[in-house]
């Protein structure tokens, strides 16, 4: 086993990853299925996917669970707007999510539990917390008593003093919302009493009719499938507080065992310096990417091209650059013979630096840079070509890159380059030229639409 190193948000260190059990247990916070997932969400799932691939290659034997949040304020609100039952509504978006994951070549998790199918497990966990005094009932809802958990705030670095001040200031206040910011630390909700707005979405519980809060599902389901201590837990950076902080509190308060050994958080995908999110309405879905003439493979490459701990700014130009880089890899891979062995090489001879970059805190940009550096200078000869094919194939698997050409999605190079010239003319306020090019493109059958981060090209 090679040495895999990852930045652990809990220890604030680059930790060497070790396996202690038969499997290396992994839990990823999955989608809230009230809308089509946007490409920001997919940045997180793609980084997680590369991580799983490396764990597999390195012999960690990962056992992966990724949940589906199919009941919360947003799913209830939007299912009512759509005049559908909660399950019909969430089924639609769960299916779309699965379709998008497979288009992006994201490996399926071993276990994919839904919140609504684990209500009894969540009730049981909440009852344990009430019984041991870390949770209490108030007006039919149940809250976690943050003061009862000494280590609260360790993951997201809320200092004890800051926490104490906030708790004193917020004494008597409780958070019924699932999402809130660091300035409003207070007792958070585990079970929400039924409200008229919930319509028919409710379950019986020892505290009356209601539904679980959002945070408890991940603790209950990860415990059920992966045990009290998970090896690795990951999600987007926004989940660090309060979601993951609350997961730790409620899990450890119930089991008195460490909840997670390694915490991994992925920085956000941005558009013009702002987080891409459903609520801000500045998002692209996979459909928008395909309408712009780009393949899911190009998007995968683009979203993986920045280091996962740095925010990544998405633009159509960056997608176009990713598409070009991918084409170069495609051209290279076409020169290689079919791989004889699908095993990871025992001793790397040509592309070892690229692979090593992945083991060193998942440095995908360095890995890609090293691949290009190497392939630009090696000549493919009969005595090395098979070794290179095996090494390149292993990297291709690790990054999940599918390098078959997709002619049907391709926009001709001359059209792409005209569209780019038009965009640059527009940025330089040369509207005469940009309008002329737009008309020329339209007469050739291509429509250009400008958007927040660039432009899209679609067929007329
Ligand atoms: P949600 O469906 O909102 O619960 O989010 C699903 C996953 O996507 C979580 O791990 C989030 O942290 C992550 N996520 C949400 N927005 C972004 C973004 N702009 N960039 C990267 N990851 C994100
Ligand atoms: Zn979660």
| pLDDT, position 168 | 63
Q: Is the dihedral of CA 405, 410, 414, 420 positive or negative?
A: negative
**CB contact burial 76-89 (16+ within 10 A = b; e otherwise):** bebbbeeeeebbeb
366 CA to centre of ligand 2 in angstroms: 30
- Taking the C-alpha atoms of residue 70 and residue 80, their distance in angstroms, rounded to an integer, is 14
Contact status, residue 38 vs residue 268, Cβ threshold 8 Å: no
Residue 319 has which token pair?
A: 């997608």
| pLDDT, position 183 | 66
DSSP class of 188: E
| pLDDT, position 406 | 56
- Taking the C-alpha atoms of residue 363 and residue 355, their distance in angstroms, rounded to an integer, is 9
Q: Which-ligand-closest: CA of 215? A: 2
Contact status, residue 57 vs residue 397, Cβ threshold 8 Å: yes
**Residue in this structure with the two tokens 């910011």, named with its chain if needed:** 181
Which residues, including other chains, have CB under 8 Å from residue 291's CB and lie 6 or more apart?
A: 456, 458
| pLDDT, position 403 | 87
Residue 456 has which token pair?
A: 């899209």
- pLDDT per residue as tens digits for the range 229-256: 999 999 999 999 999 999 999 999 999 9
- Cα distances from 136 to residues 88, 103, 176, 179, 233, in angstroms, run 33, 45, 14, 20, 27
Residue 107 has which token pair?
A: 């490996």
| pLDDT, position 140 | 95
Ligand 1 atom with least separation from CA of 275: 19
- Taking the C-alpha atoms of residue 213 and residue 189, their distance in angstroms, rounded to an integer, is 6
- Taking the C-alpha atoms of residue 342 and residue 360, their distance in angstroms, rounded to an integer, is 23
Residues near ion ligand 2 (Cβ under 5 Å): 29, 218
Strands (E), 368-453: 446-451
Parallel, antiparallel, or unpaired for β 187-193 and 174-175?
Answer: parallel
Query: Is residue 316 helix, strand or coil?
Result: helix
Burial class (CB in 10 A: 0-12, 13-18, 19+), 320: buried
What element of type H or E holds 143? Answer: strand 141-144
Burial class (CB in 10 A: 0-12, 13-18, 19+), 56: middle
- Residue 47: CB within 6 Å of ligand 1? no
- Taking the C-alpha atoms of residue 119 and residue 165, their distance in angstroms, rounded to an integer, is 35
- Residue 46: CB within 6 Å of ligand 1? no
- Taking the C-alpha atoms of residue 445 and residue 60, their distance in angstroms, rounded to an integer, is 51
Name 138's bridge partners: 141
DSSP class of 307: -
Query: What is the overall mean pLDDT for the chain?
Result: 91
- Residue 33: CB within 6 Å of ligand 1? no
| pLDDT, position 93 | 98
Give every residue of the chain whose pLDDT is below 50, as ranges.
407-408
- Taking the C-alpha atoms of residue 93 and residue 78, their distance in angstroms, rounded to an integer, is 12
Q: Which-ligand-closest: CA of 30? A: 1
Using CA atoms of 242, 247, 248, 254 in order, give the dihedral in degrees to the nearest 10.
Answer: 140
Residue 116 has which token pair?
A: 């609504």
Q: Tell me the CA end-to-end span of the chain in Å, nearest whole number.
A: 53
Parallel, antiparallel, or unpaired for β 135-138 and 141-144?
Answer: antiparallel
Ligand 1 atom with least separation from CA of 44: 22
| pLDDT, position 102 | 96
Q: Which-ligand-closest: CA of 219? A: 2
| pLDDT, position 160 | 65
């Amino acid at each position: 086993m090679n040495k895999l190193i990852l930045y652990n948000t809990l220890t604030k260190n680059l930790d060497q990853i070790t396996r202690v059990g038969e499997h290396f247990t992994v839990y990823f916070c999955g989608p809230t299925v009230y809308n089509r997932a946007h490409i920001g969400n997919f940045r997180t799932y793609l980084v997680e996917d590369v991580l799983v691939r490396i764990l597999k290659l390195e012999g960690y034997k990962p056992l992966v669970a990724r949940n589906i949040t199919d009941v919360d304020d947003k799913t209830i609100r939007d299912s009512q707007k759509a005049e559908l039952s909660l399950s019909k509504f969430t089924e639609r978006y769960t299916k779309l999510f699965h379709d998008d994951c497979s288009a992006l070549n994201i490996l399926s998790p071993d276990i994919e539990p839904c919140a609504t199918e684990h209500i009894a497990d969540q009730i049981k966990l909440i009852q344990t917390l009430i019984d041991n005094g870390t949770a209490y009932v108030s007006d039919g809802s149940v809250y976690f008593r943050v003061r009862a958990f000494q280590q609260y705030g360790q993951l997201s670095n809320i200092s004890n003093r800051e926490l104490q001040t906030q708790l004193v200031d917020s004494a008597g206040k409780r958070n019924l919302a699932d999402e809130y910011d660091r300035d409003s630390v207070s007792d958070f909700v585990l079970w929400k009493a039924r409200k008229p707005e919930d319509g028919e979405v409710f379950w019986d519980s020892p505290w009356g009719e209601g539904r679980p809060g959002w945070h408890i599902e991940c603790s209950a389901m990860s415990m059920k499938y992966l045990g009290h201590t998970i090896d690795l837990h990951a999600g987007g950076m926004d989940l660090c507080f309060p979601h993951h902080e609350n997961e730790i509190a409620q899990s450890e308060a119930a089991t008195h065992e460490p909840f997670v050994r390694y915490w991994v958080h992925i920085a956000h995908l941005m558009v013009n310096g702002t987080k891409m999110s459903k609520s801000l309405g500045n998002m692209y879905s996979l459909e928008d990417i395909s309408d712009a003439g780009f393949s899911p493979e190009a998007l995968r490459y683009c979203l993986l091209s920045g280091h996962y701990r740095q925010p990544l700014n998405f633009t159509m130009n960056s997608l176009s650059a990713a598409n070009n880089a991918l084409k170069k890899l495609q051209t290279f891979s076409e020169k290689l013979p079919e791989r004889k062995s699908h095993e990871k090489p025992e001793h790397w001879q040509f592309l070892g630096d690229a692979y090593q970059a992945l083991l060193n805190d998942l440095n995908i940009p360095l890995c890609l840079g090293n691949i290009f550096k190497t392939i630009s200078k090696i000549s493919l000869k009969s005595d090395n070509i098979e070794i290179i094919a095996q090494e390149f194939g292993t990297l291709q698997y690790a990054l999940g890159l599918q390098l078959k050409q997709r002619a049907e999605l391709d926009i001709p190079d001359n059209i792409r380059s005209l569209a780019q010239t038009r965009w640059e003319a527009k940025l330089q306020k040369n509207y005469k030229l940009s309008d002329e090019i737009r008309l020329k493109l339209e007469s050739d059958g291509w429509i250009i639409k400008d958007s927040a981060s660039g432009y899209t090209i679609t067929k007329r």
